Amino acid sequence: MRIDIITCLPGLLVGPFDQSILKIAKEKGLAEVNVHDLRIYTNNKHKNVDDYAYGGGAGMVLTIEPIDRAISHLKSERDYDEVIYMTPDGKKLNQNTSNELSLKGNIIILCGHYKGVDQRVRDHLITREISIGDYVLSGGELAAAVLADSIIRIIPGVINNESSALTDSFQDNLLAPPVYSRPAEYKGWKVPEILTSGHEKKIEDWRFNKALEHTKKNRPDLLD
Ligand code: ADE
């Protein structure tokens, strides 16, 4: 899979894709993330990517021209399955969406800024609008990094133990059960005995019940 991120602040995306699982995905040739500076696609000498909003009001708007040029340039090199715009008024990201997107080939992610982008970008160039939650960030970059991470980590082969991604929170609409590791007792705090019993079926039932209990307490909406 290939993800191309278009942004006017590429510096915000230096780093996240060169660490840990995302780095492994790249080294294994399973996923590649490329960050593109929107300013390269301007043709004014100040490299401005924003302008005032027609009709007045506070805040600048990302203009359509450099965005259209950036997307057209990428599309001239390969086909894309989705052109996603990160925005707090998009559809809220969940595990189902990440699962679905992890099966795609090539994706463009456009990061918003200021008051957002010219609506014509959204009407004509974007296939999907995604929010990572009901709060406003100063731009779409961190949201794009969250989206890319959630997609790439579940591409088959990225995580060694594939079942590990399948037992994450949300994969079956349940939060994950608690996990423990050595030592079996620390400062008098003990690991639940069942987990050291070796009874696979009992452990599985215990984990399911704990996941259910945890979900009822923290996220009852997932059980509706
Ligand atoms: N840009 C600013 N806030 C955002 C959010 N919550 N989700 C996606 N993109 C954003």
Shared domain for 204 and 105, answered yes or no, is no
Residue type, 185: E
Share of the chain above pLDDT 70, in %: 99
Residue 7 CB less than 6 A away from ligand 1: no
How far away, in angstroms, is 146 Cα from ligand 1 center? Answer: 10
Q: How far is 206 from 190, CA to CA, in rounded Å?
A: 16
Same domain, 118 and 187: no
Pocket lining: 116 vs ligand 1, CB cutoff 6 Å:
no
> For the stretch 24-57, what's the b/e string if a residue is b when 16 or more beta carbons lie within 10 angstroms of its beta carbon?
bbbeeeebebebbbbbebbeeeeeebbeeeeeee
For residues 61 and 88, state if they share a domain: yes
> Quick one: tokens of 66?
């450099």
Q: CATH number of the domain at 171, please.
A: 1.10.1270.20
Question: Does 61 share its domain with 18?
Answer: yes
What does the pLDDT read at residue 175? Answer: 95
Q: Say what the pLDDT of residue 162 is.
A: 59
Shared-domain flag, residues 47 and 145: yes
Residues 191 and 82 in one domain: no
140 and 172, same domain (yes or no): no
**pLDDT on residue 160:** 77
Q: Which domain holds residue 146?
A: 2-152
Q: Give the residue whose CA is nearest to atom 4 of ligand 1.
A: 88
Please check whether residue 88 lies inside any domain of the structure: yes
Query: What does the pLDDT look like over 53-93, one tens digit per residue?
Result: 999 999 999 999 999 999 999 999 999 999 999 999 999 99
The residue whose CB lies within 8 Å of the most ligand 1 atoms, and thus the one to mutate among 5, 97, 132, is: 132
Shared domain for 115 and 145, answered yes or no, is yes
Q: For residues 11 and 113, state if they share a domain.
A: yes
Q: What's the pLDDT at 7?
A: 98
φ, ψ for residue 87 (rounded to 5)?
A: -155, 145
Check if 176 has its Cβ closer than 6 Å to any atom of ligand 1: no
How confident is the model at residue 167, as a pLDDT? 79
Same domain, 84 and 186: no
Confidence tier at 140 by pLDDT (50, 70, 90): very high
Task: pLDDT band for 151, please (50, 70, 90 cuts).
Answer: very high
Q: What phi, psi does 125 have (nearest 5°)?
A: -115, -15
Q: Say what the pLDDT of residue 81 is.
A: 98
Of 120, 152, 184, which residue is a domain's last? 152
**Residue where a domain stops, chosen among 108, 124, 152:** 152
pLDDT in tens, 156-189: 889 876 567 777 888 788 999 999 999 999 999 9
Ligand 1 contacts CB of residue 87 (under 6 A): yes
pLDDT category of residue 27 using cuts at 50, 70 and 90: very high
Average pLDDT value for the chain: 95
Residues 32 and 74 in one domain: yes
Distance 136 CA to ligand 1 centre (A): 5
Structural domain total, the chain:
2
Using the predicted structure, report yes or no on whether residue 25 has a pLDDT greater than 90: yes
The average pLDDT across 36-55 equals 96
Mutate to test the pocket of ligand 1, among 92, 128, 131 (most ligand atoms within 8 A of CB): 131
66: domain CATH number? 3.40.1280.10
| Cα 76 to averaged position of ligand 1 atoms, centre (Å) | 28
136 CB under 6 A from ligand 1?
yes
pLDDT tens track for 109-135: 999 987 899 999 999 999 999 999 999
Together in a domain, 146 and 192 = no
